[in-house]
Amino acid sequence: MLGLLSQLGHRVFQIQEEVFSVLGQGPGPGAPFSLEDLLAWGAMDKLEAVAALSTAASKEHSLRRTLAKM
């Protein structure tokens, strides 16, 4: 579970819709959700895909920061 929290807790992780797409379900747009919800939706079984999204979000954030400095 720590791995899931680590991936979802990243401050630049703003791609919730993509995570819900990977999970095949989620709350309505803008609706709150909890760790319990994510676990019930099978997030631990899809941890690799969630981690890939987190990595991509981090790289995108870094690129945007670099471009903003130019």
State how far Cα 61 lies from the chain centre: 13
Question: Residue 53 pLDDT > 80, yes or no?
Answer: yes
Domains in the chain: boundaries: 2-69
State how far Cα 21 lies from the chain centre: 11
Closest CA to 30 of 17, 19, 11, 21: 17
> Which two structure tokens, joined as six digits, stand for 26?
């989620």
Question: Residue 24 pLDDT > 90, yes or no?
Answer: yes
- Which pTM does this prediction carry? 0.64
pLDDT number for residue 27: 86
Note whether 7 and 47 are within 8 A (CB).
yes
Better-scored residue on pLDDT, 3 or 20: 20
pLDDT number for residue 55: 84
pLDDT band at 40 (very low <50, low <70, confident <90, very high): very high
Backbone angles phi, psi at 40, to 5 degrees: -65, -30
